[in-house]
Structure 1
Amino acid sequence: MQIKDLEYFVKLAELQNFTQVAQYFKVSQPTITYAIKRVEEALDGQLIQRDQSHHAISLTPDGAQFSAHAKHILNELQVARIEIKNNARAKIFLGLPPIIGNYYFPQYIPQLNQARLIQYLHTHSRGSEYLLSQLLAGELNLALLATSTQLDAQALKLIPLAQKSFGIIVSQQHPLAKRDSVAFSEIADEDFVALDEGFVHTAVFDVLTASSGHKPNIIYQTDDVNILKKMVSQNAGIALLTDLAVTPNDDVKLLRIKNDDLPSFKIYLAYRHDYILAPIEQQFVAIFTQKAH
């Protein structure tokens, strides 16, 4: 049985038609037939039920079970190919969300520079949800991730780094700026500026709208936190934002949200459980681990 045989089988399980699979891979139909036969012989079982009159097939129970295994095997092979390719480049492929990159990561730069690791960093800046998918797919080896929920501890090695709060930011000229806290239900009629999908803020915003029974009007969405804060400072709207991203130089007021069940902004350093860290990655992780403790 060859790797290509697995690819043929997975596609056949999807399309359930020999002719279509042959056309997809641009090979002859007998090539697909012999490949499936090799797989069945290697496993000593019948994986497909052939319908000779209609040139179609259906999976047997064993075939359905093996299809799930074959998909997992092919995915792991793809991840391994990417890992080997990345390791050959002697780079630290790091997922770094914008908020963490701008307001949390800089505190580690002196130590990373002293360890001469800065030159190896190759960062990808996107929302945490997208970076998590890239990490699991093997496109990234390490990621600093923000989450308001539990991450998959079976698939990922998670090192907790920090925990911050969410609040509402308003312009200093906004009537709410006279207050220190606000219930989400009180601001249901306000216009909101929001971060794009893929940021942890989106999930928290959905939690707040569901618990309050109100869905505020979002007038603008952006992937740039500085643009969001500028629009709020100009009184274009208000926004949900972690206190990590609010600095004394921002012309906004941060209000605490009155909600006992409000999720927190948790920051983790994450990598796959089955990934073996290269020496430079071990150094990188050690710096974050030591500071976290």
Structure 2
Amino acid sequence: MELRHMRYFVAIVETLNFTRAAQRVHVTQSTLSHQIRQLEEELGQRLFERVGKKVVLTEAGRSLLEHVVPILRQVDQAIGAMKATPDDLYGELHIAATHSFNVQLIPLCLSIFLQRLPNLKVAVEELAGDQISERLMSGDLDMGISYRPAIPRGLRFEPLYNEELKLIVASNHPLAKRKRLRMVELNGQRMTLLSPHFSTRQMLDECFEAAGARPQIVAELNAISPMIELVRRTDLCSIVSENALANEPGVKAIPLESPTPVRTPGLLWPPHSERPAASRFMAEIIRDVVRQGIA
């Protein structure tokens, strides 16, 4: 049994609803259901029963709850103690984020961090995911904010949430009035996408193949900002995270389905076990902002 299993279990107990519990712990409902099934298989006991549309805690579930609640309370107390930051903490924090998170999430978290720790200096770089992984491995960075790396390289990845990617077009594009689009409908569409070495592009290529779509890729770029600007100025469309748009004028985002492209953003840590205090505090701020849905 892992800590996440305990938190997922308690979330369902508190809500008695898998959908609301999944929203509370920032995972998909299918992920939550799978994790609970794993827990039940490990314990050899059913923890919940479905009665119609209701979720009911079993006797085994009530017994587990009595043991889990004190454990989580102790863990939360330990985390709270680590968050008690000394006022005289000095030094420099080196972090990097991909463009999607450097638009809104990082500036917001950085403003909170600097208010709490005014004596610390923070160096932030905007890098591609592969570059972040390389810099973490070399020891040049304390932490990264990126998508789950295609090649782990021994890095530790802490998922934050699941993020849906959407089609973007100019406001006057023929597709701009659509409320939703199937991936197969992008067959033959003129597009601009990230270069093939990006993991996001590789994932999109897999989605195109699964849908039987062969879009016409007329421009490949290595950064999101010029890609969005190109969409705004031309008849090209693209696929990006909605977080990367930051209320960009003249651009319309359209949900995709069959399949829906989804990425998992998270925190990336170097392979060594010791994390600097400053990076722990920044990580906790990022978690809080994500949980509250501010960014």
Which residue, out of 259, 265, 268, partners 1:267? 265
Residue 251 of structure 1 deviates from its aligned partner by 0.9
Alpha-carbon distance in structure 2 between the residues aligned to 1:118 and 1:242: 34
> Residue 112 of structure 2 aligns with which residue?
111
Gap regions ≥5 residues in structure 1: 1-88
Query: In 2, are the aligned partners of 1:128 and 1:198 still within 8 Å (CA)?
Result: no
Deviation at 1:192, TM superposition (A): 0.7
Secondary structure, counterpart of 1:95 in structure 2: strand
Instruction: Indicate how the Cα distance of structure 1 residues 198 and 117 shifts in structure 2: closer, same or farther if over 3 A, else same.
Output: farther
Q: How does 1:176-255 map to 2 (within 5 A)?
A: 176-197=175-196, 199-255=198-254
Residues 96 and 145 of structure 1 are in contact (CA less than 8 Å); yes or no, is this contact kept in structure 2?
Answer: yes
RMSD of the alignment, in Å?
A: 2.7
* Structure 2 Cα separation of the partners of residues 203 and 179 of structure 1: 26
Aligned to 2:138: 137
Contact conserved, 1:112 with 1:118, CA < 8 A, in 2? Answer: no
In 2, Cα distance between equivalents of 1:130 and 1:273: 16
- Give the partner amino acid of 1:220: A
Q: Partner letter of residue 93 of structure 1?
A: H
Q: Quote the residue 1:285 is aligned against.
A: 283
Point out the structure with max Rg over C-alpha.
1
1:230: Cα distance to partner? 1.8
CA deviation string 1:228-287 (max 9, x = no partner) = 122112234110111112343421111111224x34222211213423122322322332
2:142–2:276 CA contact under 8 A, matched in 1: no
2:266 alignment partner AA: Y
Indicate if the aligned counterparts of 2:170 and 2:252 stay in contact, CA closer than 8 A. Answer: yes
The alpha-carbon deviation at position 142 of structure 1 amounts to 0.7
Q: Call closer, same or farther: CA 1:274–1:117 in 2, change over 3 Å.
A: farther
Per the TM alignment, residue 119 of structure 1 is displaced from its structure 2 partner at its CA by 4.9
Contact 1:117 1:284 in 2 (8 A): no
Q: Give aligned-pair identity as a percent.
A: 15
How many angstroms apart in 2 are the aligned matches of 1:217 and 1:130?
28
Q: Secondary structure at the match of 2:206?
A: helix
Amino acid at match of 1:282: R
118 and 169 in structure 1: CA distance in 2 versus 1, 3 angstrom threshold: farther
Q: For residues 95-148 of structure 1, what are the alpha-carbon distances to aligned partners after superposition, in whole Å with 9 as ceiling and x for unaligned?
A: 21122111322221231111236852222321112212322332322101123x
Which residue of 1 is the match for residue 274 of structure 2?
Answer: 276
Q: Distance in 1 between matches of 2:105 and 2:204?
A: 22
User: How many pairs align?
Assistant: 202
Tell me what 1:128 maps to: 129
* Matching residue of 2:31: none
Verify: 1:160 aligned to 2:159, yes or no.
yes
Deviations 1:29-48 (A, max 9, x none): xxxxxxxxxxxxxxxxxxxx
Q: Would the aligned equivalents of 1:95 and 1:142 in 2 still touch at CA under 8 Å?
A: yes
Once residues 122 and 198 of structure 1 are traced to their aligned partners in structure 2, the CA distance between those partners, rounded to angstroms, is 26
Whether 2:73 is the aligned partner of 1:94: answer no
Does the 8 A contact of 2:96 with 2:127 survive in 1? yes
* Amino acid across the alignment from 1:175: P
User: Per-residue deviation at 1:151?
Assistant: 7.2
Q: Matches of 1:270 and 1:117 in 2, distance apart?
A: 24
How far off is 1:200 after superposition? 4.0
* TM-score, normalised by the number of residues in structure 2: 0.60
Q: Taking structure 1 as reference, are residues 235 and 145 closer, same or farther at Cα in structure 2, changes over 3 Å only? A: same
Contact residue 145 and residue 267 of structure 2 kept, 8 A: yes
Q: Does the 8 A contact of 2:167 with 2:237 survive in 1?
A: yes
Separation in structure 1 between the aligned mates of residue 288 and residue 173 of structure 2, nearest angstrom: 42
Structure 2: stretches of 5+ with no match in the other structure = 1-89
TM-score for the superposition, normalised by structure 1: 0.61
Whether 1:173 aligns to 2:169 is: no
| 1:179 positional shift | 0.8
